[in-house]
Amino acid sequence: MKAKFKSIQNKDIENIIWWAQAATSYKECQMELSILAMADEKASKYLDAIDHNKWALYTQIGKMRLYGWQTTNFVESENNAAVGKRSLYLYHFFSDVMTTFMKNSFE
């Protein structure tokens, strides 16, 4: 989708798409798609035209077990990033995590 719609290079728009995909109800998914439509109407129509059973979480809730359903390397990459922090004492661990969080949040 990033290749098809250049606006998705914007992190906010990418997040809206993820929120639509992770919606737990049809109403929530449509709300996210309407927000996306305000930013990029073509991308919103493109997603809405795809069968939601193929990409939206809400269609699978109550029908199948969801563990392992949405697999990405996100968890593995985050675990690798935290390996060094695991050896720290609790205070130092939280201090380091909060310092990183504050730097990323307020740059």
What confidence tens digit (pLDDT) does each residue in 56-98 have? 888 878 776 656 555 555 555 566 666 677 777 888 888 888 8
Give the per-residue pLDDT at 80: 64
pLDDT at 103 > cutoff 60: yes
Task: Compute the distance between CA of residue 67 and CA of residue 45 in angstroms, rounded to an integer.
Answer: 29
pLDDT at 8 > cutoff 70: no
Contact 10, 1 (CB under 8 A): no
Give the per-residue pLDDT at 34: 92
- Between helix 11-22 and helix 26-39 the angle, nearest 10°, is 160
Give the per-residue pLDDT at 1: 63
